[in-house]
Structure 1
Amino acid sequence: MKKVLLVDDDQVIHGLINSTLNKYSSIFELVHAFDIKTAEAALERDEGISLVVTDIVMPGGDGFQLLAYLQDRHPDLPCIVITSYELPELQERLAGKVFQVFKKPVMSQELADAILRGLKNQHKKSDLGEFSVVGIVQLMETEGTTCRLDVHKSSDHHDISQCIEQNCKEFRGSLFLVQGTIYDAVCGKLVGEEAALKLLSMEGVQVSSCLLDSRNLVRRVHKSNQNLLINAMIQKDHQCEEDEVQNQQQRLLDEGVRLCERLEFTQAQKPLMAFVKENRKNAAGWLWLSRAVTDPKKIKAALAEAHRLEPENPDVLAEVEKARQLGGAAEAKIMRCPFCYAPQEQQPACPCCKASLLTEPSALAKLDPQVVDRRLLLQAAGRFERVLAAEVNPKILFYAGAAYLNLNDFDKALTYFDLLMPIIQVDSRYQKVAEQVGQIVEHIASSQKLDEGGGGAGRPEQAGARRERQLIDNQTDKRTILVVEDSPTTRKVIKMTLQSGGFRVIEAVDGVEALSKLNDDRPDMVLLDIMLPKIDGYKILSILKKNSETKEIPVVMLTSKNRIIDKVKGHLSSASAYLTKPFKPAELISVVNGILDKKGPEASRPAAAQAE
């Protein structure tokens, strides 16, 4: 029987999926793993696993690590990703690595259908690109075939004449065989023996054949097939050695760039120095080395080499200008701006891109989106998104949020800080970062009119474009708060504030969704905005208080309106409290704790739950 490996650290997810997929037990069996190490051990131990379903964010290593392991050890094994980790470019990055991607919470039947498709298609391999030209020629020689062999890497088996006519970039060339013997060849500008050797050394290509009229064929290859094949193999071996050396060098440069983009400049120096040692005429290598080193003299020396090699390169000129701002004062090692890589001494803001580095609490009050270089910050945000599409990196999550905070786009900034919070809350190494994020959330909450939506960017919310990830938490001792708020920025601030206070948060963007969520779950409290689309907050409150199952749930009304009539209506509508936005996170936590403490830990739980 086929087996499906489910990898997720949440036992609730395992239980939900297992209960739904039981009806397919005659087709496949679920194997459970709760972390990366257990998953890898299961794959090595059990040869019957035919498909993998995995989350991205997990303790002890992330899902990207597992995907890399699968590509290396089990490249033919289909993989489905289910994740609440949603960032730009993630879907595109995963597209080449996985069979399908689902956003949590996922419908179990949809997942079951995807698993069945994955199992069905597992062994359907394309036979394109499986042949070497040498193998085809040897077959033709045995059969004494007269034909023209067209060699190309196009995904379509179109005729070579069409390739030439359409100037197809994937076209490679043709071999002309008479009774199995190679008489002529063309490959780009090469003809005769040179072209034949080039084509015979190719592998992983598509080869198609057509009839050949040999009567007018001019023979330009006079060596035997055997001689050509031997020489082609020698040429191929030499080319492979050269390619391997070149690939090793390129890997050094790629590794250095990757480490720079992850803001690990010290680690990036070793591969970049090794690269420029062997490739002294490569300007890109010197440019990236200048961004990695922290000694001002070495920075200027590396930039001098890059400028000498490519004096008109705009990237080189930009880095030269950044280094010039150091002047001659800095003799000790300096730091790098995480946004634009500019070298600088310890400063609260970058002198180049003008972005605040958030190194001190007072920096939040000095944020000025009017002076920052938006182009450089948006470039940095793009780099951070590429890194985060490949790994869950706390440092990059923080600076991605910081980039958008400098741009006054609070909606996007909170998206990244929201993803960061669950990671730093459970790791003592990030205590200082957790304090910084808390200060940032309080700054946004207390200084912005959050009900306007769209953050500082002021863009309208598109349906489904910014669905928040739902964290399914199996810790039953956490109290649950339903937040009903149509502004995505306000919702994120409230969610992060409550999670930092130890609460589990359910979200709804309007009254209809709120009532639907109340059918599925019984929260300990509802935070309810008054101004909502479809059904306003007062109407929802009335519905809750008339229902015997929900009437005891305390409700806190949220509104930015400060008119007396709204406060009077709030007090007359059986709400437990009334909060005017913007409010400080500490004020929200105080109100929530005060109301729940009065009711007691079990007062608002359903009778069935209390009986347990």
Structure 2
Amino acid sequence: MPSIAQSLSSGQVTTLLREALTSARAGDTARSHKLFQQITSLDPGNEAAWLWYANTAADPAEAVRGVRAALGLNPQSAPALAALPVALFRAGVAAAKAKDRERAAQFLADATDADPSNEGAWLWRAGVCDDPALSLEYLERVLKINPTHAQAREGIARLRAQLAPAWCCPVCDHRPTSAPPDAETCPRCRAVVTLRRPEAFERPPAALDHAALKDGARRLKSAWAASGRAEAAFGLGLALLNLGFADEGVRALETAARAPDSNPEWREGVARLVAHRRAAKHRGAAPKVPPRIPVMVVDDSATVRTLVSSVLTGAGYHVVAADGAEEASRLISAGNLPRLFILDVNMPGVDGFGFCKVLRGNAETTEIPVVFLTGKTGLLNKLHGRWVGAAEYLTKPFENEKLLDTVARLTSASRA
């Protein structure tokens, strides 16, 4: 049986609720908010009162407090879940306008976590971020949501220009006052410093400064041993290639390409270099890979699609790329039937496992091998891949040789 104090409190809450709702309907939100503030003090477990408290708050931060209190009582509350992203966004904008960047950044980060499709929250988040690289990332999210967003495009162009580093030789660290556009060789040490043309290393430039190259190789080797940074391994690989130590140089470049802080352009360049060396090694003999075998790569990451395509194209395959199951299905319907599918597991919409099941159930594709290429590791994921009919399961970051060996083996086995 409730105590006299509890009964009085309950009666008071009922009276206050009646007054608060009457004020809200009359448009007196200020009085209504004060009354709901009293109600939540007397009855902090009242979910509906907290929602009304949030709805009548003039201060966006107070609205966030009310919605979060309601969710604390009922994490599945549909009205609270719907109100939270809006409340967080409004609180973030208000804090930004008040020049409270730190508080604004937190509210807006929570807003984008609650609703990743809110382009306005990403835009404001970019505006209050002190890190230009992160601001660029947030603006790119805006553009992904809305490709026509002019303000995001302008901001991206400005930040990219701001972040563009001055040209520096990756081997001898020379920094000329005027950066050579797309320099293939360093004006000081004369080394080939890009992987755009692998054949350039077959005939090193004249007047190479061997002393500068050796000094650079020693410095980069020490830096790599001390920090493990991909940039040091990449520079060391270039130095060794220019000095004529091709195998050692390629190994250093492959290490740089597999590192977590690797540049995607390096990975593509290393793939071209490895494919070029393999072709040169076997030149005149029967090619290991029959030319133009079609392979379909399905991955929602443009970087991964480019990297895999570069490795396979360099080895003589014909690559058709799709950003998801829907686009892949359209390509198949249009007659692009590959000899092998390479699928990412974690894709929006129909994931890799689901799309593999679709392929296994289709008469045209049921016998075509499937390789999963994904960052998901573990026995259960591999077993799941086998259950849905995959022939192989490779993890990211992948080794170029292992990918090529797997593709060669499966396309050879599936040849008509």
TM-score range, shorter chain: 0.3 to 0.5
TM-score normalised to structure 2 length: 0.38
Greater Rg by CA: 1
Higher helix proportion? 2
TM-score normalised to structure 1 length: 0.27
